[in-house]
Structure 1
Amino acid sequence: MNYLLSRFFNLHRQYVLLGTEDPEKPVPVVPRRRRRQALVLILIPVILLGSIIANIVFAVKLGKQPTRRPLDNYQHINTFPIASPRVATSGQNAIVTTLYNDGYVSAVATLGHSLQKANSTARLIVLYFPSAVSPQSLCLASSSGWHPVPVTRIAPPQDGKGINIHFADQFTKLSLWSLDKIGIESLVYLDADTLVLRNFDELFQLPFAFAAAPDVWGDQRGMTLEFNAGVLFLKPNSDVYNHLLEVLPHTRFPMEFAEQAFLNQYFAGRTLTLPPVYNGNLAMKTRYPVAWEGLKDEMRVYHYTMVKPFLTKSYKGLSMDEVILRAQASEEDYHGAYREEVVMWEKMWEEMWVNNQEMRERCSRV
């Protein structure tokens, strides 16, 4: 490059500044061909450098391919009707959550207390693993109104290859479709990391077989076509349950999203979309802050996707009396972005703790 620049400037040394030339000496003229050659010598490295930069940028963008989504490989595997003619009576409705280990008992108990305050008319059912949940934890969960129903763990397909360890038990959620065997016609499923703010019994009047709210990400993806599996409405059906288990090993979906990806594939195009107020994913607060504020007065359920006041950051379970310290500390997570919602969960937990004192003492002796 230095050589080329020196060639360029040496050509111009043959010129004489105006007003300084000797009238008796002719002014040397640089041939046009030499000027053209100098220009080419300058442009070639510039073009090469620009091409290299453009290729680097293209390669970087190519390497950042979009995350695989559940609907990327759509498969026509679900032939059941989208709408159901069955309309359940109040005794046939249920709100269901899960308790896979003792670490989530404080969340389940707090969720149950929030449901009691919301005055839902539905039965409260908690699905649990008998081999992984202690009698004390089951007693504490029951003290908040949950009726325990044992279930067998449904293992992830492909031996769980590629799945996040925290989601390894989540395929047991498919057991929801088998609850028609205990007389449930319509149910709303809630993840244990949710908190009920208002009654949502209106969902039980839906004629559809399956409904869920859109998923929300805190990054550029924002609200997506896929639904979030933390809050579901469905009509239990043992035929659907058996078919889910039959096609699970053969369905193509990104394993990192576990049962949520599978259900998105299975119910693709057959899902009634619920408004976000039925699944107030905390990611929405930071991704769409204006919309979040506008919907707060209608919010039925908060979903603590971004911060979990009842677990350590490594997902380690805590005893009931340790939870309050973690909840207080989690107010500062993400620079306090979710402080208001965490404080709301913390107050609900404190109410549950005080109101169930007698029951807690009884559970400690189980």
Structure 2
Amino acid sequence: MHHSQKASSDALGYIPLARRRLDKRAKILLGLLFLGGVVVGYVLRMNADGLGPKTSALDNYQRINPFPMIHSDYARITSEERAVVSSMYTDSYVFPLAVLGHTLKRHHINARRILIYLPNRVSNRTLCFVQAAGWELHPVEFIPPPHGGKGIHYTFVDQYTKLNIWTLDQIGIKTGVYLDADTIVRGNFDEIWNLPFEFGAVPDVYIDNPGFTPGFNAGVLFFHPSTKLFEDMVSKLETTKFRLKDAEQSYLNHYFGAEAVRLPYAYGGNLAIRERSPEVWEAIQADMRIIHYTINKPFNARMKCPGGICDPEEVFDLKKQQAWLKKAKGKWKGHFVPELTFWEESFKLMIEEIGDLCPAS
């Protein structure tokens, strides 16, 4: 094309194909730059607000509510109609149960302390030891897992026996708090007894799952015993669809899912909270009633007990217990040393109190 023809073509609005492609690419590039600027501005604003990529109430904790956790105007029932309950299926948990019993006495929980247990699994020395720590013994029958134990972890095979706590109305208990053996009491919780709700539990916490979960942990439960409810619960074990791997905790979440009231974290200070959100852990310290040693236990939680029968020498070996506690303090980069020290102090006081009251036969 001659120069005269090119000038004439431009004047008529003609743009060569190569130039048109360049203009189109430029528009796309400008659009992307604009969009990128919007995204960067949004991120900068988020960071300026202190929100970051996780914006749930748990991960973006702010102490907004200034009111006390406990309402001062609550009714009372007699201490004989209340019970703190725990469970023992083998001798292996004798030390943690004795520590838990000791902390219940130390913090003056105004209730009976009832320990359900499997009589064919637990030795007389262990029964003597937990009684000395303040537990009232209550034998129960084993409740097998549904579907022949299909899909359940071997450490959870006995856990459905926990459902027996709902039969305690037969011995006069009207309201109860169930505590797993891997808990200790850090403060009095007598205000809980007259909650009007049928069932309550503390929301579960997972380290790698941002935000709140609607599910609860079965290590701390508020309940009203009812043999009628117990019978209904057991009758539906085989027909209810739930994650068998998580045993009775999963079943209880389904059975009480729509009716359960969620208790504050202070009633079940799951160590996962400490790891996930140190700010929340620090904030609830003044109100902390119960610590739950979930992800780092101060005792051997997987002692080998073939057929449910443990080696008594290993069960009552104080040196092995101290070695286990030392090992636990070294885990998780030492994050849980303060909480493990709480347990250790209670353990030492418990041993001083009970001493040699229950010698080997």
Give TM class, smaller chain: 0.7 to 0.9
Q: Percent identity over the alignment?
A: 40
Q: Residues 175 and 193 of structure 2 are in contact (CA less than 8 Å); yes or no, is this contact kept in structure 1?
A: yes
Q: Residues 129 and 357 of structure 2 are in contact (CA less than 8 Å); yes or no, is this contact kept in structure 1?
A: no
CA drift at 1:101: 0.5
The residue that corresponds to 2:357 in the other structure is 362
Q: SS at the partner of 1:125?
A: strand
The residue that corresponds to 1:131 in the other structure is 120
**1:326 maps to amino acid:** W
**2:166 maps to amino acid:** W
The C-alpha deviation readout for 1:95-140, integer Å capped at 9, x for no partner, is 0001110110000000000111110110001111111110001110
Q: Does 1:118 align with 2:123?
A: no
In structure 2, how many angstroms separate the alpha carbons of the residues matched to 1:341 and 1:309?
A: 9
In structure 2, how many angstroms separate the alpha carbons of the residues matched to 1:221 and 1:149?
A: 40
Aligned match for 2:315, one of 292, 303, 319: 319
In structure 2, how many angstroms separate the alpha carbons of the residues matched to 1:287 and 1:355?
A: 36
Q: Does 1:301 align with 2:296?
A: no
Q: Does 1:95 align with 2:84?
A: yes
The residue that corresponds to 2:272 in the other structure is 283
Residues 1-366 of structure 1 correspond to what in structure 2 (within 5 A)? 88-311=77-300, 314-316=302-304, 318-320=314-316, 321=318, 322-357=320-355, 361-366=356-361
The residue that corresponds to 1:56 in the other structure is none
CA drift at 1:89: 2.1
In structure 2, how many angstroms separate the alpha carbons of the residues matched to 1:195 and 1:205?
A: 22
In structure 2, how many angstroms separate the alpha carbons of the residues matched to 1:88 and 1:106?
A: 31
CA drift at 1:243: 0.1
Runs of 4+ in 1 over 3 A off after TM superposition: 314-318
In structure 2, how many angstroms separate the alpha carbons of the residues matched to 1:251 and 1:308?
A: 32
Sort the Cα spacing of 1:236 and 1:87 in 2 relative to 1 into closer, same or farther, 3 A: farther
Higher Cα Rg, which structure: 1
Q: Residues 222 and 287 of structure 1 are in contact (CA less than 8 Å); yes or no, is this contact kept in structure 2?
A: no
The C-alpha deviation readout for 1:70-93, integer Å capped at 9, x for no partner, is xxxxxxxxxxxxxxxx97422100
In structure 1, how many angstroms separate the alpha carbons of the residues matched to 2:325 and 2:109?
A: 26
CA drift at 1:223: 3.3
Q: Residues 203 and 217 of structure 2 are in contact (CA less than 8 Å); yes or no, is this contact kept in structure 1?
A: yes
Q: Residues 87 and 180 of structure 2 are in contact (CA less than 8 Å); yes or no, is this contact kept in structure 1?
A: yes
**1:287 maps to amino acid:** R
**1:218 maps to amino acid:** I
The residue that corresponds to 1:55 in the other structure is none
In structure 2, how many angstroms separate the alpha carbons of the residues matched to 1:252 and 1:220?
A: 24
Q: SS at the partner of 2:237?
A: helix
**What is the aligned-residue RMSD (CA, Å)?**
1.9
CA drift at 1:220: 2.2
* Normalised TM-score (structure 1): 0.74
**2:182 maps to amino acid:** D
Q: SS at the partner of 1:216?
A: coil
